[in-house]
A and B are shown apart, each in its own frame.
Chain A
Amino acid sequence: MSAQAPGAAPWPIRPDTGMNTARLGMWLFLAAEAMFFGALFSAYVLLRTAHPAWPQGTAVFSPALGVGAAAAMAVGSLCCWRGFRALRSGSPTVARAWFAAACGAGALFLLNVWTQHGILREHGMSPRVDTFLAIAHVLAGAHAVHAAAGIAVLAWFIGPGWRLQAQTPERQAVRLANGGLYWHFLTLTWFCVTAALYA
Chain B
Amino acid sequence: MEERPGRKPGLGGWARAAAARLWRADHKTVGLLYGVTAFGFLLTGFLLMLLLRWQLAHPGEPVPGATALLGPNNPSMPGGVITPEFYNSLGAMHGTIMVFLAVAPLGVGAFGVYLTPLLIGARDMAFPRLTRAAYLAYLAGGLVMLAGFLAPGGAARSGWTAYPPLAVIEPMGQTFWLLGVLGVMIASVLHGVNMIATVVQLRAPGMTFMRMPLFVWSQVVSAFLLLLAFPPLGAAGLLQLMDRAVGTSFFMPSGLVVGGDVVEVSGGGSALLWQHLFWFLAHPEVYVLILPAIGIVAEIVANNIRKPLWGYRAVVYATLFLGVMSFLVWAHHMYLTGMGTAISAFFQATTLIISVPSIVVLTSLLIPLWGGAIRFTVPMLYALAFLPMFAIGGLTGLPLAFAMTNIHLHDTYYVIGHFHYIVAPGALFAFFGGVHHWFPKITGRKMSDFLGKLHFWPTLVLMNAIFFPMFIQGLAGVSRRLYDGGMTYAHAEPVLHLNAFMSYAAFALAVAQIAFVLNVCWSVWRGAPASANPWEANTLEWAAPSPPVAEGNFTGPIIVRRGPYEYSPPGHDADYLPQHAPEIKP
Which A residues have a C-beta under 8 Å from some C-beta of B?
14, 17, 19, 21, 24-25, 28-29, 31-33, 35-40, 42-43, 46-47, 50-51, 126-131, 134-135, 137-138, 142
> Who on chain A is nearest to B234 by CB?
A36
Q: A21 near B201 (CB under 8 angstroms)?
A: yes
Residues of A within 8 A of B201 (CB): 14, 17, 19, 21, 24
Interface of B is mostly: helix
**Does B269 lie at the interface of the complex (its beta carbon under 8 Å from any beta carbon of A)?**
yes
Q: B227 near A127 (CB under 8 angstroms)?
A: no
**18 A-B contacts, Cβ less than 8 Å apart?**
A19-B201, A24-B196, A28-B197, A29-B193, A35-B228, A35-B231, A36-B235, A39-B277, A40-B235, A46-B276, A51-B268, A128-B248, A128-B249, A128-B266, A129-B266, A134-B242, A134-B250, A138-B242
Provide the bound-state CA to CA distance between A40 and B277, in Å: 10
Q: B232 near A35 (CB under 8 angstroms)?
A: yes
Known: A46-B270, A130-B266. A32 touches B228 (CB 8 A): yes
Provide the bound-state CA to CA distance between A128 and B244, in Å: 11
**Does B200 lie at the interface of the complex (its beta carbon under 8 Å from any beta carbon of A)?**
yes
| One of A25, A28, A36, A50 near B270 (C-beta < 8 A) | A50
Given A46-B270, A138-B242, 13 further pairs, Cβ under 8 A = A19-B200, A32-B193, A35-B228, A36-B235, A38-B231, A39-B234, A43-B235, A43-B273, A43-B277, A46-B276, A47-B268, A47-B269, A130-B268
6 cross-chain pairs, A with B, having the tightest CB-CB distances, nearest first: A39-B232, A36-B231, A39-B235, A134-B248, A35-B231, A21-B201
**Does B126 lie at the interface of the complex (its beta carbon under 8 Å from any beta carbon of A)?**
yes
Residues of B within 8 A of A40 (CB): 235, 239
**Does B468 lie at the interface of the complex (its beta carbon under 8 Å from any beta carbon of A)?**
no
Residues of B within 8 A of A135 (CB): 250
Provide the bound-state CA to CA distance between A26 and B79, in Å: 55
Known: A39-B232, A40-B235. A21 touches B268 (CB 8 A): no
> Who on chain B is nearest to A130 by CB?
B266
Known: A29-B193, A35-B232. A47 touches B238 (CB 8 A): no
> Who on chain A is nearest to B195 by CB?
A28
Distance to closest chain A CB from B275 (angstroms): 11
Query: Is the interface on chain B under 10, 10 to 19, 20 to 34, or 35 or more residues?
Result: 35 or more
Annotate B226-264 by CB proximity to A: 1 below 8 A, 0 otherwise.
011111101110110010001111100000000000000
| One of A29, A39, A130, A131 near B189 (C-beta < 8 A) | A29
**Does B280 lie at the interface of the complex (its beta carbon under 8 Å from any beta carbon of A)?**
yes
Q: A128 near B247 (CB under 8 angstroms)?
A: yes
Provide the bound-state CA to CA distance between A199 and B77, in Å: 54
Which B residues have a C-beta under 8 Å from some C-beta of A?
126-127, 130, 189, 192-194, 196-197, 200-202, 227-232, 234-236, 238-239, 242, 246-250, 265-266, 268-270, 273, 276-277, 280
Provide the bound-state CA to CA distance between A134 and B189, in Å: 26
Q: B248 near A127 (CB under 8 angstroms)?
A: yes
Distance to closest chain A CB from B238 (angstroms): 7
Distance to closest chain A CB from B517 (angstroms): 37
Residues of B within 8 A of A46 (CB): 270, 273, 276
Residues of B within 8 A of A38 (CB): 231-232
Of the candidates B193, B230, B246, the one having the most CB atoms from chain A within 10 angstroms of its own CB is: B193
Residues of B within 8 A of A31 (CB): 227-228
Q: A43 near B189 (CB under 8 angstroms)?
A: no
Provide the bound-state CA to CA distance between A39 and B237, in Å: 11
